[in-house]
Amino acid sequence: MRRRRYNEIDWTQSFTKWVREFFGAPSLLAIDLGSSNIRIYLEGKGLIFKEKAYVVRNVKTKEFVVCGDEAYEMLGKTPPNLEVFSPLERGRVSDFDGVYHLLRKSLDKALEPYIKNKLLERYNMLFSVPLGLTEVEEMAIVEVGKKAGGKEIFLVETPIAAGFGVKASVMENSGNLIVDVGGGTVEVSLLSLGGVVLYRVIKIGGLDFSNALINYLRLRYGILVGQKTAEEVKLMVGSIIDEGSEIIEVSGRSIESGMPKTIMVKRKLFFEPLYPYFGQIIDVIRESIEETPPELVKDIRNKGIILSGMSANFVDLDTYIAKELKLDVHLVKEPEFSVIRGLGFLVEHKDILEKVLIKYAKI
């Protein structure tokens, strides 16, 4: 019998197979890129990184200085030659270079304890993306992932990830109404059989709540405060239902004199600039329910509404929505981690991940 020659193609295939067996398949990273925060989940390890999604750039040289929590701490304190900003606007890439720098530096910090040899660094990436993105906007996320070192890039819709994160029956023949109140958007999604039956997105979120407080203090009390101070005030305002008489102390700069100024304001007054936003959230939920197929309305009545997202635990928004819509509203534990928990679930359950992917790309 004639022996087959071991040619170059055979050698290449055998070597490639040996490399794959020796080094194993690339690990899968789940990444929640939000308007305010970035979170990273590593397959087999869990949530390994969470920081603010901010970067600092030198205006003159266009070079990035720092990112993450360190950049956020510099908000409102930088000289004119430095700018602090979030490179993601309402879930979309608004500054490609900024997102790349943020992602690359975040990966370096997150993976440092787990990767001993950078030459052997190999991993795939799973991103959550908001509903309603154009193909160009989706590909911007894919390109950022590729440039940051991802071998294969996977995308999944944010409501699907949030659904798994709150342990809803996403894959079953049953309706699940999820309201995700994020930093830049409010997404209302009806999930059933592993897909999104209908959705509504409005461009308001936690950042808009803070800006509303900034404008309110400027116009009514003549005091200028920054983004971080507004965030602190937002956390102190308490209950939207219980109209207490507590006093909140706020410090800033006087518009008239330009000097430091401290004012004392009743807590309940801070809700005045926020009510319009709460009204918009109620309206978009009501519209979504009105357009829900009749067979799924029964499920919403029985199960209620699931509230998730970074700003979902702001005051008692769940109680307010329940009171206005006469429906049960369930606020999940640590709602700001709903999406990354769901992405982590998909990372560990590849069979389910394959059923909900919306994009697949290779380098």
User: Does residue 7 lie within any of the structural domains?
Assistant: no
What mean pLDDT do residues 137-157 have?
91
Residue 223 sits in the same domain as residue 351: no
Per-residue model confidence (pLDDT) at position 127: 95
Position 11 pLDDT exceeds 90: no
- At residue 249 the predicted structure's pLDDT band, cuts being 50, 70 and 90, is confident
Residue 136 sits in the same domain as residue 240: no
Position 90 pLDDT exceeds 90: no
Position 20 pLDDT exceeds 80: no
Residue 67 sits in the same domain as residue 216: no
- Average pLDDT of the chain is 85
Per-residue model confidence (pLDDT) at position 318: 87
| DSSP string across 270-320 | GGTTTHHHHHHHHHHHHHHHHTS-HHHHHHHHHH-EEEESTTTTSTTHHHH
265-284 per-position pLDDT tens digit: 887 788 888 889 989 999 99
Position 10 pLDDT exceeds 90: no
113-144 per-position pLDDT tens digit: 877 555 456 789 999 998 888 888 889 999 99
298-315 per-position pLDDT tens digit: 999 999 999 998 888 777
Per-residue model confidence (pLDDT) at position 116: 58
Per-residue model confidence (pLDDT) at position 310: 83
User: Does residue 97 lie within any of the structural domains?
Assistant: yes
Position 359 pLDDT exceeds 60: no
Look up residue 77 and give its DSSP letter: T
Position 258 pLDDT exceeds 60: yes
Position 239 pLDDT exceeds 80: no
Residue 193 sits in the same domain as residue 291: yes
Q: How many domains does the chain have?
A: 3
- At residue 8 the predicted structure's pLDDT band, cuts being 50, 70 and 90, is very low
Report percent pLDDT > 90 for the chain.
Answer: 52
Residue 219 sits in the same domain as residue 318: no
What mean pLDDT do residues 349-357 have?
90
What does DSSP say about strands 329-331 and 305-308: parallel, antiparallel, or unpaired?
A: parallel
Among 3-7, 227-231, 243-247, whose mean pLDDT is lowest? 3-7
Residue 266 sits in the same domain as residue 294: no
| Interacting residues of 97 by C-beta distance below 8 A, sequence separation 6+ | 64, 87
Integer Cα distance of 251 and 249 in angstroms: 7
User: Does residue 182 lie within any of the structural domains?
Assistant: yes
Integer Cα distance of 166 and 330 in angstroms: 10
What mean pLDDT do residues 28-44 have?
91
Residue 212 sits in the same domain as residue 254: yes
Per-residue model confidence (pLDDT) at position 99: 95
Residue 233 sits in the same domain as residue 85: no
Containing domain of residue 285, as a range?
Answer: 167-204+278-335
95-118 per-position pLDDT tens digit: 999 999 999 999 999 988 877 555
Residue 48 sits in the same domain as residue 150: yes
Per-residue model confidence (pLDDT) at position 7: 47
CATH of residue 357's domain is: 3.30.420.40
Residue 48 sits in the same domain as residue 115: yes
Look up residue 2 and give its DSSP letter: P
Residue 235 sits in the same domain as residue 224: yes
Per-residue model confidence (pLDDT) at position 91: 78
What mean pLDDT do residues 3-17 have?
48
Helices (H), 112-189: 135-147, 158-165
- At residue 18 the predicted structure's pLDDT band, cuts being 50, 70 and 90, is very low
User: Does residue 19 lie within any of the structural domains?
Assistant: no
Per-residue model confidence (pLDDT) at position 246: 78
Written as six digits, the tokens of 332 are: 């999940």
Please count the other Cβ atoms lying within 10 Å of the Cβ belonging to residue 45.
15
